[in-house]
Chain A
Amino acid sequence: ETGVTQSPTHLIKTRGQQVTLRCSSQSGHNTVSWYQQALGQGPQFIFQYYREEENGRGNFPPRFSGLQFPNYSSELNVNALELDDSALYLCASSLGQGRSDTQYFGPGTRLTVL
């Protein structure tokens, strides 16, 4: 069984640019969530996708957007990058969206904005 994978591993961008991060969910999982983890902090929920529809969103501006594809893989897009967007971006997949459903995390993409 393949776990959650993310690409790329590392990325360096400059302020104002746009970035796309990718995530492949664990086999059979139809729900994908994205989190931002700043250095030394716990992850913060960005949004969740279920069957290609956004299913919930945290306190992030609209320049953070996403997609989920029919195979349940997902993208996170960030426009107009700011220095504070530098963080580890984590993708997690789960079988459902209930409070007791376990989320399985990928290794993350480290984004540096200069």
Chain B
Amino acid sequence: GNSVTQMEGPVTLSEEAFLTINCTYTATGYPSLFWYVQYPGEGLQLLLKATKADDKGSNKGFEATYRKETTSFHLEKGSVQVSDSAVYFCALSEAGSQGNLIFGKGTKLSVKP
């Protein structure tokens, strides 16, 4: 079945460090891929998305490229801030699935000043 695998957390970085959170997926068709962020005590917010191979999603300095050949959608940011501390979820939505999202387990990021 379809699934999403994220790198285990927690990830602890110093402010201005480079961030990579790995995400790989298994899908039978051509899914759309998403990164959502969850700040403490809040619901999920869409961070970025990509709907076809080689698309790059970007927002707030975060980027992720849809790599069909490696079935990956790694999240990157060049310089993290304390305010980026949150849990990050990779998710996919496959054609014919009524758009329901399949999520990874989440990666908790803590950024220290």
Give residues in A with beta carbon < 8 Å to B.
4, 6, 31, 33, 35, 40-45, 48, 50, 55-56, 58, 90, 92, 94, 96-108
Contacts and interface: CB of A to CB of B under 8 A. Distances in A.
A92 B94 CA distance: 17
B98 interface: yes
B103 interface: yes
Interface string B86-100: 000101011111111
Contacts of A103: 46, 99, 101
B95 A105 contact: no
B111 interface: no
Interface residues of B, number: 28
Contact of B43 (A33, A96, A108): A108
Contacts of B44: 43, 90, 92, 105
Given A41-B105, A42-B106, A45-B101, A99 B95 contact: yes
A94 B99 contact: yes
A91 B54 CA distance: 30
B43 A42 contact: no
A107 B42 contact: yes
Nearest to A101: B99
Interface of B: 4, 31-32, 34, 36, 42-46, 49, 51, 89, 91, 93-106
B99 A48 contact: yes
Contacts of B31: 99
Given A41-B105, A42-B106, A99 B99 contact: yes
Nearest to A4: B43
Contacts of A33: 99-101
B93 A42 contact: no
A46 B5 CA distance: 20
Given A42-B89, A42-B104, A99-B32, A31 B43 contact: no
A106 B100 contact: no
B43 A105 contact: yes
B97 A56 contact: yes
Nearest to B52: A100
